Every structure is written in structure tokens, then in C-alpha cells.
Structure 1
Amino acid sequence: MTETPLIVLLGNDDDDSDHRIVFSEIERLGGRPLRVHPDELVIEVTPASTRFFVGGEELAIDLMMGWVYEDYLILGMNQLETARLAGVPVVNSAMTLMRGQSKYLNSALLNGAKVPHLPVLWGRDENTLASWTNERGYPLVTKPLMLSCGRGLQLLEDEAAVRAHVRELDPGPDTYYVQPYVPARHQDIRVLCVNYKAVAAIERTAPDDSWISTADGFTRRRLELTPDIVEIGERAAETMDALWAGVDVARNEETGELVVYEVNTCPTCAEALHALGGDPVPLTQLASFLVAAGRDFEDARRNWRPSATY
């Protein structure tokens, strides 16, 4: 067992506020945190060993955490998988991050595991999409496959809008990803999970001029971790194999049922926690798990439980 584990967070400084809280708690608990930008990491692979360097210095890594997305996703995935193959424990593996970034893989996993989700259609063919939405009814929501924070969301309310959306797609890589609109009072719930255990629930409500719960001007409030919220959040996190997860859930106002929109595998929450006040429990619990996993990964996976919830 490593008493002072070196815990490398692979990522950039986009979520620096979150990282600072996590790093401070790691240090308090006796670990040694280090953020490494994917561009800074050098890896040597030989028949004898795999070695990791930053700034010419070799690192003896006890645990690596993946916090990469969008522009750095593919590079970071390769680095994380190389570390895993070399025997370094990895929290949020390459495939976990890909599943979290790709809306379609989210849907394939959630629906396959029978986690309450939504039907989706993914592709480029205009007539198939028009037929699908005519059968299921309007409105529907379309999302970019690989973006986050609500960017690119559109509400399509008739066949003309559907066809126009397809024709506006980039002729190269763009595809549509659509799902039915959920009547949820323009609200959703972010359930934060560590080691598949729910540690916080935050409700987000869209501003008056928007239906998107994360649009500029949205409001937040803390929610009780009720059994139904805990159950769906933890099931979704485990389905994605996300040891750090932000599960976005909506409660259908017509049926009262919860449904998962998606699972985020690099969820940022420092800003929300600061706005709501109180201790940043989800991030300190993440730090607690990382230190335990850096000392003994398999034992932490089996036995670590949150000591507090938000």
C-alpha cells in the first residue's frame, strides 16, 4: 500500500475551480495530487516497461484520473488506456469518457441496461427522421453528439423544422441525434455520484425565456437525495462505469416518472456548489475516494462509501 499516493489528474484547466477543491482535500488526506495536461505527458513504451514523463521527470503514478473531453478527448483516451495497460489504476477510463462524451453511446448503454431513458434516433437520412418523428409526435429535441453544457440543443416542433435541421448539417461528419421532448417544467436534476454512490442532487430551472435548464440565467436549488433519485442516478453511473459521474435526470410532470437524459463523465460542479453555499461535499468525497483508490484500487472499489452527502 502506498501511504502517499501520487494521483495524476489528466486534464486542462477548464475546470480549475473543481480541481483546486479536489487537490486541497487530497493533500489533507495524505495524497499527492498533480494535474498533467495531455500535451505535457510523454510516454515511453518498451517490451520491458511503460514509463511516464512530465518536463523530463519520470512519474511513479499510483492512480490516474481522466478529466478530458472535446478537443483533448482522443489524445487523453490513448494516454489513459496506455496507463491502464501498464497496470496503473484509472478512474474514468478511456471508454468511460468516450461513453460520456458521445450521446449515442450514452443512449445505447442506458437503454440496453433498462435504465429509464428515452428512445433516440441517430444518423443522417432525412426521410427516416421525418417518418420517425411523425410516428412519435412533436416536439422533439436534437443535440450535438459530442458537445456539453447544453450547447447546440434545439427544439423541433414540426416536419418542416426537422427537414430544415437535416439539411443544415455539415456534409462531412455531422449527424442528428434526436429524442422526444420531456414535459418537466423546464427543469432537470444533476445527480453527482462517486464510486457509483449518489452524493448530491441539484435541481436546475431554465430562465423564463428558455426551455433549456442550463441556459444563461438558470437557477439552482439543492434537492433531497430521495430513494428514487438515488436509485436512478446510481444505476446510470454504474451502467456507464463512471466512478465520477453527473447524471442528468428529469421528472416527467405528466407521469411523475424519472428519466435519465445523459451521464456526464467530467461533471463540473464547483460553481454550483459555491452558489448554493455549504461545503463542497461532492468534490471532497471524490478526493476521499481517489486517495483510497490510490492506496488500494480494488479495495476502494469494493468498500469505499461516502462519509457525507450534500
Structure 2
Amino acid sequence: MGLETVELFAGVGGFRIGLERAGHEVIWSNQWEPSIQAQHASECYVAHFGEENHTNVDIKQIDESSVPDHDLLVGGFPCQDYSVATTGAEGIKGEKGALWWDIERIAREKRPNYLLLENVNRLLRSSTDQRGRDFGVLLHCLHDLGYTVEWRVINAADYGYATKRRRVFIFAAQANTEWGQWMTSKVEKPDYLTQRGFFVDEFPVEDVQTQLPIAHPPNTTLEGDPKETSDEFEFDFEEAGAMVDGGIWTREVTPVYQGESPPRRTGNGWCS
């Protein structure tokens, strides 16, 4: 059964294509590019999906209570303040990094069962002077809203696509949902992130579990409140992980792909 979905930072609609192919319905969307007059991304979105229930308004001007109730909140929120390509990137405190707080206030008001978010993988290491702080703040906010969380860095090239594109995907489920309860009951298992988690069916990884205990404690925990995390938290997040009840489990994983890989574009042309 498909989920009623709200799409933030919709861009030209890449998220929506995948959602609709999976049987979900986008009931409201927002796309706005600040500081420019021509809203090309929004215009492209409307050309493909129509203008009904689409808004081209600065998200900061949107009253969260006006967003329709929904099951799933998705968005690839702006990455410039986390990107390695940006000199002096300010992370969650930057102008675009701070747009995380618009996701948080909408989730706080509407309390959807699930969130699926995307950003550059450097989000896990931001900020430069307090490694892991920004992702820790994000996890703490979701924890305070009653969510369990799983994340994975996925490189499209590792799964047969003709581009190297590393992005972190963040899945959050309310603790009382089926997924939230599953995560809570299984996250301590050493094979959760390789065999049992949200991402492994579509993006399999090697399952190396030699000499590991039946259950293992979290690698670190969230303490205090999001402000305390912002001031003091520092941690090296790995490319896969989960957060349940403030405990954080994280590990490196190795992608497994056995299909055919298409030619890949290089600086001088195409190669196999």
C-alpha cells in the first residue's frame, strides 16, 4: 500500500520518480531557489508533474500547520554547507545548512510515520572543527521527536550505475511503527546493518560476522539535548549506522554487486 508523501526541496523531481514507481503518492511538494528570479527547477517539476499541490515559495515562509498530513516526508535538503567542494562550509549553522530546521519544524508539527532524506556524505563528518557535530544534532532532533534512524552512504557506481555519486540516505521511523519496532528489537544484532536493516535488500553488502557477540552495545550515545550536542558532541560516524533510544551503532560496510556495469564516463570519454 502506497504512502501519502510530502516532498521538500523537490528539485526537478528525481525523488518523486522513484516514489511513484514504488507506488507512493506525492500529495504536496515544495521547491524554491533563493536569491534568483528564474525558478527553473520548479518550472521543470511542474512541466513533468503538474502544478496541483506544488508550491514555489521560500520554505521559511511556509506555516508548518498548512502542510497536509502525510505518512512519509522526503527531501534532498541543500548540501552546499556540508560539501567538500565549498570553501569555508559552515555546516548546520550555514545559510543553507540551517534549512534542516525547516524539515525539523514540519516533522515536529505533522509527525509523519517515516522520513527519507538525502545529502552529501560529508554531512557525517561536518563540521570541520567538531567532527560529527551536525549529524549528531540531526539524530538528536529525530530522537526527541520519537524516531529511530538508520543511514547508509550509497555510491551509485557501486551498484552498476554509470556515475560516481556518493550520498548519505537517512531513513527515520516512528518507534511505534512496524519498522521502528523492528529496528528497536534487532539493532544490537551484529548483522543488523548487513542483513536486517532498511537498505540491505536493495543495496546489499558483505556480511562478515566472524567472532562477534550475539548482541553488542552502542558505539556511542546521545546525551543531554540538541544544544548540548551542538556544543560538545564529537564522533566519527561510519558509512552505515542506526540510532535507537539515543544509542548509536555504526560500522563500515562493503557493497556487493554482481550485475553488469555500464560504460563509465571519464574525463577523456567513455570506458568500461
TM-score w.r.t. length of structure 1: 0.30
More relative contact order in 1 or in 2 (CA 8 Å, sep 6+)?
1
Considering only CA atoms, is the larger Rg found in Structure 1 or Structure 2? Answer: 1
Give the number of the structure whose residues are more often helix, by fraction.
Answer: 1
TM-score w.r.t. length of structure 2: 0.33
